Amino acid sequence: EPEVTQTPSHQVTQMGQEVILRCVPISNHLYFYWYRQILGQKVEFLVSFYNNEISEKSEIFDDQFSVERPDGSNFTLKIRSTKLEDSAMYFCASSTDRAKNIQYFGAGTRLSVL
């Protein structure tokens, strides 16, 4: 069964460093998303991406964040200068089309900012 793949599973970084979280969405999907989940809290939307541009972003997704689809398969989330409060699980999701709505999630990357 096709699945969304995220790497690495765990990323440890020092405050102020840049991190790139990587995702390989399901191959025929067109819509891509990043969400985050701070430990013990709910899943929060960060950004959605379609047709090589951001279609929506939340107030969490400030200038420190960026997304990119550098080739036909990868979808990345970059945090330019990490803060302690960026420590969370980051989930990538993809969906085939807007009408069906179904978003499939990866297993996540746990980001620990020290």
Partner 1 sequence: QQQVKQSPQSLIVQKGGISIINCAYENTAFDYFPWYQQFPGKGPALLIAIRPDVSEKKEGRFTISFNKSAKQFSLHIMDSQPGDSATYFCAAQGGAQKLVFGQGTRLTINP
Residues near partner 1 (CB under 8 A): 4, 6, 31, 33, 35, 41-45, 48, 55-56, 58, 91, 93, 95, 98, 101-108
Minimum gap (Å) between residue 16 Cβ and partner 1: 28
On whether the CB atoms of residues 64 and 78 are closer than 8 A, the answer is no
Pick the closer one to partner 1 by CB: 1 or 71.
1
On whether the CB atoms of residues 11 and 111 are closer than 8 A, the answer is yes
Minimum gap (Å) between residue 102 Cβ and partner 1: 6
Minimum gap (Å) between residue 6 Cβ and partner 1: 8
Taken as a whole, the chain contains a residue count of: 114
Minimum gap (Å) between residue 43 Cβ and partner 1: 4
Pick the closer one to partner 1 by CB: 83 or 98.
98
The DSSP H or E segment spanning 106 is none
Pick the closer one to partner 1 by CB: 45 or 65.
45
